[in-house]
Amino acid sequence: MNLKKVVFPVAGLGSRFLPATKAIPKEMLPIIDKPLIQYAVEEAIDAGFNELIFITGDTKRAITDHFDFKPDLNISNLTKDKKIFISQMHRIIPDHVSCQYIIQDEPLGLGHAILQAKEAVGEDPFAVVLADDLIDAKSGVLKQMIEHYQDKNSSIISVQKIKKSESVNYGIIEFKEGGENLIKITNIVEKPSPENAPSNFGVVGRYIFCNKIFSLLEKISVGVDNEIQLTDAIKLLLETSPIYSYEFDGTRYDCGTKLGFTKANIAFALKDRENANKLKGFIKDLL
């Protein structure tokens, strides 16, 4: 299996989170003490990926700095505990994993962002992770998907059941026959109205693609929201190749929205034993 490369599109404007995202990408916003992008990177490394390809904007360098910067351990007044803690920051990216940063000149959409990785990916299959879809799972979603990829040797898209009224926020899949959690899809539509949504399964930001997707991304023109949409290339890929949807095990937080981001922070804070009880009391008092 040559599935070693993973693409993180992180060049979006993050306009929903302005002014917080004026100088940093939205993927640098933290859930408690860790930026969203780091959760995504750890999920990928844990699943065995060792070539990380970031598609970044040319004005926001924080992600590059976050992964490349090694804090100084020689500051004279560092206590032993602080030294240990800081030295852990040196190992976010283990030695066997490489990072490449590619600049997307203009944020023309998710499809356009992924196309920037064409040369870096080459002939290999690859994964895509949207870091603002934070998924809390016992076994990381990419790891879950790889097992099915090995089985089917086909592109796989992760999905979750959504409320039809929310279809305008998702790529929505269509299929003929249901199944357990792995279904062969027959069509996909980007952000349809609830009346036009072909199912109640929405795409969540984890994908594994064969590299044919690049030539299709080059073919498509601007779609929904005036953007080059990944979904439109997936639709074309379906004409020649099988694609499966995978309903993952785990809880997904849509950290691209203020509500989802806030929920994630509360949920992750409640997992912290030291603070959980105090936080519960605080929330109770607030309510």
Task: List residues binding ligand G1P (CB under 6 A).
Answer: 110, 130, 133, 170-171, 190, 202-205, 229-231, 256
* Maximum alpha-carbon separation in the chain: 66
- Least spacing, CB of residue 133 vs ligand G1P, in Å: 5
- Least spacing, CB of residue 187 vs ligand G1P, in Å: 13
**How far, in Å, CA of 238 to CA of 174, rounded?**
11
CA-to-CA dists, residue 99 to 51, 142, 194, angstroms: 6, 18, 40
**Nearer to ligand G1P by C-beta: 155 or 229?**
229
**How far, in Å, CA of 105 to CA of 57, rounded?**
7
- Least spacing, CB of residue 162 vs ligand G1P, in Å: 9
- Least spacing, CB of residue 253 vs ligand G1P, in Å: 11
Length of the chain: 287
- Least spacing, CB of residue 194 vs ligand G1P, in Å: 15
Give residues with Cβ within 8 angstroms of 244, minimum separation 6. 148, 152, 154, 155, 156, 157, 182, 183, 184, 185
The residue to which tokens 């002939």 are assigned: 123
Single-letter amino acid code for the residue at 194: P
Handedness of CA 24, 26, 31, 37 (dihedral sign): negative
Q: Which residue, 10, 12, 97, is CA-closest to 55?
A: 10
**Nearer to ligand G1P by C-beta: 140 or 256?**
256
**Nearer to ligand G1P by C-beta: 93 or 175?**
175
Cα 143-147-148 angle, rounded to 5 deg: 120
Q: Which residue is nearest to ligand G1P (CB)?
A: 171
**Nearer to ligand G1P by C-beta: 116 or 231?**
231
Q: Under a CB-based contact definition with an 8 Å cutoff, are residues 125 and 2 in contact?
A: yes
**Nearer to ligand G1P by C-beta: 93 or 144?**
144
- Least spacing, CB of residue 171 vs ligand G1P, in Å: 3
- Least spacing, CB of residue 126 vs ligand G1P, in Å: 17
**Nearer to ligand G1P by C-beta: 26 or 66?**
26
**How far, in Å, CA of 157 to CA of 283, rounded?**
37
**Nearer to ligand G1P by C-beta: 35 or 171?**
171
